[in-house]
Structure 1
Amino acid sequence: MELSDIDIMLAVGRSGKISQAAKELNYAQSNVTTRIKKLEEEYQVQLFNRSSKGVIPTEKGTQFLAYAARIRGLLHDLQQEMIDPEEPSGTLKIGIVETAASRRFMEILNEYQMTYPDVSISLVNATSPKVLRHKIQSSELDGAFISGACVKEGLKVEYEMQDTVHIISKRTDTLLESFCQLSWVVFPQGCPYRELTEKFLAEEELSAKKLIEVSTMENLLNCVESGIAVTIMPCSVVHNKPEAYTLHNLSDVFTPTTTTFVRGENRYVSSALKQFMRLLHEKCITF
C-alpha cells in the first residue's frame, strides 16, 4: 500500500462515486478502480459494494476508512508541527453553523485578523453539525462551532456557549394562537433546530407538511420577517434586527441549547488555532 492509496480511499468514501473521486484527485477513473482492486487483493477483503449508483463501503471498508482518516490526520499534524512558527501564520480553517455566524462572532474574527495579519482565515458554513464533524475528523478543518448535542468521540470541546430557543415570528403584539395555521421555515435535514421543530410539531400533534426548507440564515429570516412563516431558532439569530421579530416562549423541555467550539481530540494545535481559542475565552463570546 502507498500513501496515495489513503487519499484515494478517503476520496471514494466521501463521494460514494469513483468518477467523482478521480475528478477530485485529478486521476484517471481507471487508475482509481485499479488501485482499489489492488488494495482488495493485497488484504484479501472487499472494501466497497458496487452498484450503478456508486459504491458503498463494506464493513471492512468502513474499518479501512477509519484507519485511513487517522493516518491522514497524523500526517497532517506532522506537517503542521514541522512548519508551524511561534508567531501565528498560515491558514486557519474554521467551520461554523449558520446559527452561530453572528455579528459578535464577526467582531472576534476581525480582532483576530488585525492581531495576526499573517493568518489567512477560511470559513466553512454548514447547517448540519454532522458535516462539520466529518471535516474536522478528516483534517479539512482546524475546529468548528457546532450547535446541539453533537460532541462525539474524537472531538474535544474548547469553548461552550448557552442560548435559549424560541418560536420566532414577525413583529406582533399578540400571542400566536393557532399553530395549525402556520408555515414553518427550516434548514435541511441534519440541522438540530429542524429536528427540534419536527419534535415540537409532533408533541403538539400538528402536521409537519407546512415546512419551507432554506439553506441560509438570510433566507430563513426573510421568510420570518415577511410573515410567510415562523421558525424555531436560538434568540441570538435576530441580533442584527431584533425590532423586526417577536420571540415566543417554548416549554422548558425545548428551551436550552448549546453551541460548542470543538477540535480534533489528540490532534496537533497550531499556534494560529491556539491564539484563536485564547481570544474566544478572553472575549467570553456569546451568540
Structure 2
Amino acid sequence: MDIQLLKVFSATAKEGSISKAAQKLNFAQSNVTHKIQQLEADLQTQLFYRHNRGITLTPSGQILVSYAEKILHVIQEARSAVVDSKVPTGPLSIGSMETTAAVRLPVLLAKYHADYPAVDFNLVTGPTERHIHGVLHYELNGAFVAGPVDHPELEQENVTDEELVLVTAASHPPIDSIHEVQSRTLLVFQTGCSYRAKFNQMLQDEGIVPVKLMEFGSLETIIGCVGAGLGISLLPRSIVTEQEQQGQIRTHAIPSKHSLVTTVFIRRKDALMTPALSAFLAEMRAHFS
C-alpha cells in the first residue's frame, strides 16, 4: 500500500472535502482525486460516496481512517526512533485546558523551553473532550485534562486538584444556597469543557433548571462579564484569586461533593516515548510534586 496515497486519503477524510485536502496538501484537486481513485483500485473498494454536497466516507472508508492514522503515526515514530540524539529535539504538541495553561503551566513551560530550546514545542488550549480526541488520534503527544479519564488506550497520571467556586460580581451578596443561582444567567465555556459539565451535573443533582446559559470562548471574557454583573460562573479558585483580591469579582463556596476536580495528564499507551516527551514528563512531575 502506497504511503503517499494513505496521506492523501487521510487528509481528505479529515477535511471532508477534496478541494480542502488539495489546498492543505498543496496539490491540484485533480491530483487528489486521482490518488484516491488509485487507492480505491488498489483496495478494490469504494472509500468515499460522491454527491452534490461533496464527499462522505463509506463504511470501508471509515474502517481505513483509523488504520491510516496508526500507520502514518508509526512511520513518524520510526523516523524519530532512529535519530541518534541524546538531546531532546523535534516537535512536541501538548494540549491543555485554558485555565490550567493560564495558572499552572507558565513556569513549567518557561523552564522546559530554557532547558530544551531545540524542542519545537506547541501548546494547544481547549476543552477536555477535544484534547482526548487529539491524543487518541495522534494529533497531540499528551494533554492536561479534567480527570478521571477512563479509556483503554490512554494512560493518565494525576497532576493537581482544583477547587471550584461560584464567581459573581464583587457587589453580589453572599450565596447561602446553590439554589439561589436558578434565577441567574450562567456564563459557561463551549460544549466539551469539563467545568461546564461539572456545573451541569451539580445543577442536575440539586434539581436546578437554569434560566439562561451564555456560552463564551475565552476565560478572560467570562471573568470580565462576571465582573460587570452579566451573570455568574463556575471556575477554579486559583484562576480568579488575583481578580478577587483586586475587588473585581467575588467567590462563593459550593457543596464539597461538587467542589474538587482533578487535573490529569494523558497520553496514548502505544505512543513512542521520545526524548522530548520524556524530558517534559520529568519536568512536569518535578514541577507538580
Global fold match (TM > 0.5) = yes
Read off the aligned partner of 2:259 and give its amino acid letter: T
**TM-aligned CA deviation for residue 66 of structure 1:** 0.8
Q: How does 1:45-194 map to 2 (within 5 A)?
A: 45-83=45-83, 85-127=85-127, 129-171=128-170, 172-175=172-175, 178-194=180-196
Give the structure-2-normalised TM-score.
Answer: 0.87
**TM-aligned CA deviation for residue 208 of structure 1:** 4.4
Task: Return closer, same or farther for 1:202/1:84 CA change in 2, 3 Å cut-off.
Answer: farther
SS in 1 for 2:151: coil
Asked if 2 retains the 8 angstrom alpha-carbon contact of 1:163 and 1:236, the reply is: yes
Distance 1:166 1:51 in 2: 50
1:247 aligns with 2:251: yes
Aligned length: 284
Task: Return closer, same or farther for 1:49/1:249 CA change in 2, 3 Å cut-off.
Answer: farther
Give the aligned partner of residue 269 of structure 1.
273
Structure 1: segments with no counterpart, 5+ residues = none
User: Could you tell me which of 220, 223, 226 is aligned with 2:225?
Assistant: 223
Task: Return closer, same or farther for 1:149/1:61 CA change in 2, 3 Å cut-off.
Answer: farther
Deviations 1:77-114 (CA, angstroms, capped at 9, x unpaired): 11111225112233322111112113331011111222
Task: Return closer, same or farther for 1:262/1:239 CA change in 2, 3 Å cut-off.
Answer: farther
Distance 2:92 2:138 in 1: 12
Asked if 1 retains the 8 angstrom alpha-carbon contact of 2:185 and 2:232, the reply is: yes
1:19 aligns with 2:19: yes
Deviations 1:209-234 (CA, angstroms, capped at 9, x unpaired): 52211111111211222221211223
Distance 2:43 2:141 in 1: 32
Read off the aligned partner of 2:234 and give its amino acid letter: I
Distance 1:98 1:214 in 2: 12
Read off the aligned partner of 2:65 and give its amino acid letter: L
RMSD over equivalenced CA pairs, Å:
2.4
Compare 6-15 and 270-279 and name the one that shifted more: 6-15
Distance 1:125 1:55 in 2: 30
Distance 1:138 1:242 in 2: 39
**TM-aligned CA deviation for residue 69 of structure 1:** 0.9
**TM-aligned CA deviation for residue 149 of structure 1:** 4.0
SS in 2 for 1:101: helix
Task: Return closer, same or farther for 1:176/1:26 CA change in 2, 3 Å cut-off.
Answer: farther
Task: Return closer, same or farther for 1:110/1:32 CA change in 2, 3 Å cut-off.
Answer: same
Give the aligned partner of residue 235 of structure 1.
237
Deviations 1:151-204 (CA, angstroms, capped at 9, x unpaired): 423222244322232322233452266323311111112222222333344445
Task: Return closer, same or farther for 1:17/1:205 CA change in 2, 3 Å cut-off.
Answer: farther
Read off the aligned partner of 1:164 and give its amino acid letter: E
Read off the aligned partner of 1:272 and give its amino acid letter: A
Compare 55-64 and 256-265 and name the one that shifted more: 55-64
Task: Return closer, same or farther for 1:121/1:206 CA change in 2, 3 Å cut-off.
Answer: same
Distance 1:222 1:97 in 2: 19
Asked if 1 retains the 8 angstrom alpha-carbon contact of 2:182 and 2:210, the reply is: no
Read off the aligned partner of 2:216 and give its amino acid letter: V
SS in 1 for 2:105: helix
Read off the aligned partner of 2:27 and give its amino acid letter: Y
Asked if 2 retains the 8 angstrom alpha-carbon contact of 1:73 and 1:138, the reply is: no
Distance 1:255 1:46 in 2: 51
Compare 257-266 and 47-56 and name the one that shifted more: 47-56
Distance 2:200 2:72 in 1: 38
Structure 2: segments with no counterpart, 5+ residues = none
Task: Return closer, same or farther for 1:269/1:158 CA change in 2, 3 Å cut-off.
Answer: farther
**TM-aligned CA deviation for residue 206 of structure 1:** 4.5
Task: Return closer, same or farther for 1:3/1:163 CA change in 2, 3 Å cut-off.
Answer: same
**TM-aligned CA deviation for residue 25 of structure 1:** 0.9
1:2 aligns with 2:6: no
